[in-house]
Amino acid sequence: MLTMNTYEPKDIEQKWQKRWADSGVFQADDSSSKPKYYALIEFPYPSGEGLHVGHLRSYTAMDIVSRKRRMEGFNVLYPIGYDAFGLPAENYALKTGQHPRVTTEKNCANFERQLKAAGFSFDWSRQVNTTDPAYYTWTQWIFLQFLKHGLAYKATVPINWCPKDKIGLANEEVVNGCCERCDTPVEKRNKEQWMLKITAYAEKLLEGLDSVDYIERAKVQQENWIGKSEGAEIEFKIRNQESGIRVFTTRPDTLFGVTYVVLAPEHALVEKLKLQITNGKEVQEYIIQVKNKTDIERTATDKEKTGVELKGIVAINPVNGEEVPVWVADYVLAHYGTGAVMAVPQHDDRDRAFAEKFHLPIIDKPLVSFAEALQKSGGKKQTTYKLRDWVFSRQRYWGEPIPVIHCAKCGTVPVPEDQLPVLLPEVEKYEPTDTGESPLAAIDSWVNTKCPKCDGTAKRETDVMPNWAGSSWYFLRYIDSKNDKAFASMKKLQHWMPVDWYNGGMEHTVLHLLYSRFWNQFLCDIGLVPTSEPYKKRTSHGLIMASDGEKMSKSRGNVVNPDEIIARFGADSVRLYEMFIGPFDQPAPWSTDGLVGTYRFLEKVWKLHEKIGEHGQDSILKATQLLHKTIKKVGDDIEAMRFNTAVSAMMILVNEMSSLETVPQDLYEKLLVILSPFAPHMAEELWEMLRHKELIARASWPKYDEAMTIDNEVVIPVQVNGKLRDTITVSADASKEMIEQAARASEKVQKSIGKKEIIRVVVVPGKLCNFVVKE
Ligand code: ANZ
Ligand code: ZN
C-alpha cells in the first residue's frame, strides 16, 4: 500500500514544471531519427492584461496533441514566442510615455510566468519575440527579397485613414466603415505606401488549398477573400471617340440585354472625357459626394442606388451596334475588374435596381453562348480576383522599420543586407506627425543618412511594417531561432517543415493565414524553404465567453483571471475544464462550478491510488473492458478534437474503477498515461508514487485490445401477454430502461400492441421483456 496523502495541486505543480525544464524533456531534437511532428499555436500578443482563458483553450488542446505524439514515438516541436509589435503597446506609450520596449518586456515576462504555470510542454529554448532586433533583422531581410523580386513597390493609393489614430488601415481593419480599434468613421486619403504584390500569388494561394487539410470554413474564407472570377473583357466603343470602355463581365452571354454602361466615379475616362461631358458640374459634385464611402457601403444590394449620366457620351454595344447611355455610379468599384460594367438589368439585381430608379430600359433578350459572345464582341477571356495588393506601410513607431533609403540621385535604394537590422531609434514623442508621417520622421539624426550607392546625402524610409509582418514567418524562425547567418537553415527547415497541425482563432483564418502562406510560398519559390504550403492542417477553436454569455472584457468586468483560478484549483483542473467545457470548435460560456467538477474528478483519480492492490474480490473484466474502450476513445477523440467527450469517457472509467474493492496497478497506470496529456502534473506525481524513475511524459501511449472494446451482445425475446412477438439485440449490460426502450421500438411489437393499453412491463435484464396489455 502506498502512503496516504491528499491532492494538493500547489504542492506538486511547480515541482514538475521545474523537473520538465531541468530534464529538457520537451526540447525538440533537430537531428532525431524519430519521425518529426510540428504542432503550432498562434503566438500571443503580450498584452498588459496577461493571458486570457481563451489562450489556454487552444494551447491546452495542442499541448495534449503534442504530449500524445511524444508518447507515440514522435520527435515533437511545440514552440512558443511573442507577436509583440503593434498598436496597444504604442497607444499605451502615447498615454504614459513609457517606451513600448519596456512594457513589452514586462508583459512578455508575465506571459512566460503564466504559460509555465499552466504546464505547457513548449520548447522554451526556441522562444522568439518579433520585436527582438535579432528577429526583425530577418523580417527586414525577407522584405528586401520581396523588393529584389519586384514584389514590393511604392504606390499612391487611396487608403483608409483613421483621423483619430492617424493611421492608414488595411481594408480588414475597417469594420462597418469605422476604425477597428477606436470606432471612428474612416476616411479615404491618397498616400504613397509600400505595397506587397500578393495578387501575383492569387492563383497559387488558391491552388494550394487543394493540397492541405483545413477545416472547411477556413478554406472557404480563403477562397472568398481571393475571390477568383472567370469572365471576359469586352470593349464598348464610344461614339465619335478614339477611346473605348473596357468592361469586365462574368456573363458575356447576356450581351444582347445591355441597356447602359457604368463607370466607377474614379475611372480615368471620366477625367479624360471632361470636355465632351455636357453636365460636367453635376458629375463633379457626384464624385466628391461618394469619395468617403467604403466599398461595402457602395456595393451593398440593399442600399439606395445613386449615379449620374455622362451626358454627351454614348457607348456602342459591340454585338449589335446598339447605342447605350454611359453613367457613373458608385456601385461600380474602381479597383475591381476594369472599373467599368455593362449593365444588364434583366439579369443582374443591382443593375435592375439602378435601372428602375433612373428609368433605364430593362429588356429581355435571348442569351447567347459564351463562345459566340466573345466572337461577336471581339472580347477575350479574363480572370479577375477580389484580392488586392497588401498595403504594407504604417505611419507609426512600434514596428519594423522598412529597410530602404531614398536618394535624390539613385532613387529608392535597399539597405545593404549586411547593414541590417535597421534599428528602431529612441523617440521623444510617439505621436504620428501632423502630416500623418511616422514619428520616426521627426528624428533628423536618424532620418538623415548616406546613400549606400553613391555615398551622397539621403534619407531613410520612415514608414514601419504592419503588425502582420512578424507573424508571417515566425513558424520558420522557431525551427532555427538562434541562427544569425540566415532566417533558418535549409537543413533544419527540411527536417521540420511543414507544420503538421496549426490551431488558432477563427478570426485569423483569413488574413494571417493568407499572408503567412504568401510569405512561405514566395520563400519557397526563391529556394529558401522546402515546402510551398506552410501548414498541413489547420483547425480553429471556439471562443471562451464569460458566464453571462458575453465576450470577456475588462470594461464589462467579467474577465476570468488565469492566475486566480490556477491558484485556487491548480493548472490541471483548469486544463481539464477548458477541454471539458464543450465542443472544441464552438463558443462556450465559462462556469466556475464546472471547474469544481473537474477538480473533484481529479481528486477521485488521486484517491484511487489507495485502492491499488493485487488480490481483489471483484471481477475486473468489466473495468478492463472499459479501460480498453476508453484508451481507444480518448485516442480517437484527441485526433478529432473531441476533447470534451474524451474527458467524459475518462470520468466514466474512473467511476467504474472507484467501485472496485481493489484496483490492479496495471489498470491504474494506463489510466494515468491517457490522462497525463490533460492533467500532466498530477499524472507525474502519481507515476512517481508508483515508483517509476522516468517521467510519465516519456511513457508510451498505451495500446488497446480491439476485442476488448467490442460490447458483448445478447438476444432478448420480446413478448406481448406472454406471446413471443420479436427479438431484440442489446448489449449484455443493458439496463432495464434500455431494454424496454429497444423493445418498444420494434415494429412487430408496436403492431401487436396496437391501441391497447399497456398495464405493466416486465424486464429481466439479459433474459426477456414482456408487455402486459389490456385485451
Ligand atoms: C454583366 C452581368 C450580367 C454581370 C449579369 C453579372 C450578372 P463577380 O462574380 O463578383 O466577379 N462588375 C464587374 N466589375 C465590377 C466593378 N468594378 N464593380 C462592381 N461590379 C462589377 O462579379 C462580376 C460581375 O460584377 C460582372 O459581370 C459585372 O456585372 C460586375 F446577369 O456583367 B456582370
Ligand atoms: Zn544615391
Q: What is the pLDDT of residues 336-378, one digit of tens each?
A: 999 999 999 999 999 999 999 999 999 999 999 998 999 999 9
DSSP string, 332-363: S-TTSTTSEEEE-TTT-HHHHHHHHHHT----
Tell me the residue length of the chain.
775
Distance 94 CA to ligand 1 centre (A): 45
- Put residue 35 in one of left, alpha, beta given phi > 0 → left and psi -120 to 50 → alpha: beta
Distance 455 CA to ligand 2 centre (A): 6
Higher pLDDT residue, 460 or 557?
460
Higher pLDDT residue, 181 or 198?
198
Ligand 1, atom 25: closest residue by C-alpha = 249
Read off the pTM: 0.88
The β-bridge relationship of strands 187-196 and 390-391 is: antiparallel
Cα separation, 424 vs 465, whole angstroms: 12
Q: What is the largest CA-CA distance in the chain?
A: 111
Instruction: Evaluate whether 736 touches 750 at the Cβ level (below 8 Å).
Output: no
pLDDT value of position 1: 41
For residue 228, the ligand closest to its alpha carbon is 1
Residues 324-331 have a mean pLDDT of: 97
Higher pLDDT residue, 620 or 511?
511
Ligand 1, atom 29: closest residue by C-alpha = 249
Which one of 223, 235, 247, 248 would you pick to mutate in the ligand 1 pocket, going by the greatest count of ligand atoms within 8 A of its CB?
A: 248
For residue 354, the ligand closest to its alpha carbon is 1
CB of 333 within 6 A of ligand 1: the answer is: yes
436 pLDDT band, cuts 50/70/90, is confident
Which one of 249, 317, 362 would you pick to mutate in the ligand 1 pocket, going by the greatest count of ligand atoms within 8 A of its CB?
A: 249
pLDDT value of position 2: 45
Closest CA to 36 of 523, 530, 509: 530
For residue 457, the ligand closest to its alpha carbon is 2
CB of 236 within 6 A of ligand 1: the answer is: no
> Per DSSP, what are the bridge partners of residue 175?
178
CB of 249 within 6 A of ligand 1: the answer is: yes
Distance 731 CA to ligand 2 centre (A): 84
Cell 464582341 locates to 377
Distance 275 CA to ligand 1 centre (A): 29
CB of 339 within 6 A of ligand 1: the answer is: yes
Which run of H or E residues covers position 294? none
Cα separation, 352 vs 565, whole angstroms: 59
Ligand 1, atom 2: closest residue by C-alpha = 251
Cα separation, 716 vs 764, whole angstroms: 9
CB of 257 within 6 A of ligand 1: the answer is: no
For residue 262, the ligand closest to its alpha carbon is 1
> Per DSSP, what are the bridge partners of residue 719?
724, 770
Distance 271 CA to ligand 2 centre (A): 36
CB of 254 within 6 A of ligand 1: the answer is: yes
CB of 347 within 6 A of ligand 1: the answer is: yes
Distance 250 CA to ligand 1 centre (A): 6
Higher pLDDT residue, 395 or 409?
409
Ligand 1, atom 28: closest residue by C-alpha = 249
Angle subtended by helix axes 53-71 and 562-569, to nearest 10: 60
50-64, 125-139, 182-196, 291-305: least confident range: 291-305
CB of 336 within 6 A of ligand 1: the answer is: yes
Helix (H, G, I), strand (E, B) or coil at 323: strand
Strands (E), 183-249: 187-196, 213-214, 228-238, 244-249
Distance 244 CA to ligand 1 centre (A): 18
172 pLDDT band, cuts 50/70/90, is low
For residue 411, the ligand closest to its alpha carbon is 2
pLDDT for 626-659, tens place per residue? 999 999 999 999 999 999 999 999 999 999 999 9
Which run of H or E residues covers position 762? strand 758-764
CB of 337 within 6 A of ligand 1: the answer is: yes
Distance 442 CA to ligand 2 centre (A): 22
For residue 453, the ligand closest to its alpha carbon is 2
17 pLDDT band, cuts 50/70/90, is very high
Distance 317 CA to ligand 1 centre (A): 16
27-36, 170-179, 528-537, 672-681: least confident range: 170-179
Ligand 1, atom 19: closest residue by C-alpha = 332
Angle among Cα 365, 367, 372 to the nearest 5 degrees reads 125
The b/e string for 356-391 (b: 16+ C-beta within 10 A; e otherwise) is: eebebebeeeebbebeebbebbebeebebbbbbbbb
Which one of 229, 348, 350, 364 would you pick to mutate in the ligand 1 pocket, going by the greatest count of ligand atoms within 8 A of its CB?
A: 348
Ligand 1, atom 31: closest residue by C-alpha = 347
Distance 447 CA to ligand 2 centre (A): 15
Cα separation, 717 vs 710, whole angstroms: 22
pLDDT value of position 135: 98
Output the CA torsion sign for 373, 379, 383, 387: negative
Distance 336 CA to ligand 1 centre (A): 9
Which one of 336, 338, 350, 362 would you pick to mutate in the ligand 1 pocket, going by the greatest count of ligand atoms within 8 A of its CB?
A: 336
| Ligand 1 atom at minimal distance to the Cα of residue 337 | 14
DSSP string, 238-261: ETT-S-EEEEEES-GGGGGG--EE
Residues 517-531 have a mean pLDDT of: 98
For residue 454, the ligand closest to its alpha carbon is 2
pLDDT for 570-583, tens place per residue? 999 999 999 999 99
CB of 728 within 6 A of ligand 1: the answer is: no
Question: Is the confidence at residue 217, as pLDDT, over 90?
Answer: yes
Distance 342 CA to ligand 1 centre (A): 8
Residues 380-402 have a mean pLDDT of: 94
Question: Is the confidence at residue 692, as pLDDT, over 80?
Answer: yes
For residue 328, the ligand closest to its alpha carbon is 1
CB < 8 Å & 24+ apart, contacts of 174-181 = 174/294, 176/296, 177/294, 177/296, 177/297, 181/87
CB of 250 within 6 A of ligand 1: the answer is: yes
Distance 131 CA to ligand 2 centre (A): 30
For residue 458, the ligand closest to its alpha carbon is 2
Question: Is the confidence at residue 554, as pLDDT, over 90?
Answer: no
Which one of 223, 228, 236, 250 would you pick to mutate in the ligand 1 pocket, going by the greatest count of ligand atoms within 8 A of its CB?
A: 250
pLDDT for 248-265, tens place per residue? 999 999 999 999 999 999
CB of 251 within 6 A of ligand 1: the answer is: yes
Which run of H or E residues covers position 539? strand 537-541
For residue 373, the ligand closest to its alpha carbon is 1
Question: Is the confidence at residue 171, as pLDDT, over 80?
Answer: no
Ligand 1, atom 26: closest residue by C-alpha = 249
The b/e string for 122-146 (b: 16+ C-beta within 10 A; e otherwise) is: bbbebbbbbbbeebbbbbbbbbbbb
Ligand 1, atom 5: closest residue by C-alpha = 348
617 pLDDT band, cuts 50/70/90, is low
Ligand 1, atom 20: closest residue by C-alpha = 332
Angle subtended by helix axes 571-580 and 53-71, to nearest 10: 90
Distance 372 CA to ligand 1 centre (A): 19
- In the structure grid, which three cell numbers stand for residue 631, read together? 484508451
| Ligand 1 atom at minimal distance to the Cα of residue 254 | 3
Cα separation, 8 vs 603, whole angstroms: 9
Distance 458 CA to ligand 2 centre (A): 7
Q: What is the mean pLDDT of the chain?
A: 93
Distance 405 CA to ligand 2 centre (A): 9
Cα separation, 244 vs 237, whole angstroms: 4
